[in-house]
Homo-oligomer: A and B are copies of this chain.
Amino acid sequence: MASKEKMLQELGQGFVQEYYNQFDNTNRMALGNLYSADAHLTWEGTVFQGREAIGAKLVGMPFSRIKHIITAQDVQPTVDDCVLIMVFGQLQIDDERPMVFHQVFMLKFQNGFWACSNDVFRLGIHNIPT
């Protein structure tokens, strides 16, 4: 693997680790700081645009404890030197039954920092074969 590609892989994996650790353990209030100023989040089909709107959405979710477990993650470089990440996992809210989730992030280097410019989140509960 080329060293640039390896660097982007490690960057993607590091972001995933930091994102969910901050979400679950340390500081959900500051998650918005991981996003670029004009980032897009699509959360269960609803669009939030901009760091402030995204941060408010993530802070405002009504639970006291959450735990994410990552079962797989795929990281790809893009032609514009961004990093595309697809995450598969399970999350548990308070004492509820664990649910499957899927999340896509795109990271871009802008103004001297890597930040999340795109985020798509969906629970797997709507996607069950009959």
Q: Would you give the 0/1 interface string for A39-81, flagging 1 where the beta carbon is closer than 8 Å to chain B?
A: 0101001010000000000000000000000011010111110
Residues in A lying within 8 Å of B, measured CB to CB:
36, 38, 40, 42, 45, 47, 71-72, 74, 76-80, 82, 84, 86, 88-90, 97-100, 102, 104, 106, 108, 110, 117-118, 120, 122, 124, 126-130
Q: In the complex the two chains form, what is the Cα distance from A84 to B105 in whole Å?
A: 10
Cβ-defined contact, B78 with A100, below 8 A: no
In the complex the two chains form, what is the Cα distance from A90 to B129 in whole Å?
Answer: 7
- Whether A89 pairs with B127 at a CB distance below 8 angstroms is yes
Residue of B nearest to A76 (CB): B40
Q: B100 near A124 (CB under 8 angstroms)? A: yes
Contacting residues, chain B, for A76 (C-beta < 8 A)? 40, 42, 47, 118, 120
Q: Which residues of B contact A89 (CB under 8 A)?
A: 127
**Minimum C-beta distance from A2 to chain B (A):** 11
- Is the pair A72, B84 in contact by a Cβ cutoff of 8 Å? no
Contact partner of A88 among B74, B98, B110, B122, CB < 8 A? B122
Q: Please name 21 pairs of A and B residues whose Cβ atoms are closer than 8 Å in the assembled complex, sorted by A.
A: A36-B79, A42-B74, A42-B86, A72-B126, A78-B80, A78-B118, A79-B108, A79-B117, A80-B82, A84-B84, A84-B120, A86-B102, A86-B104, A86-B120, A86-B122, A88-B102, A88-B126, A90-B127, A99-B129, A100-B129, A124-B124
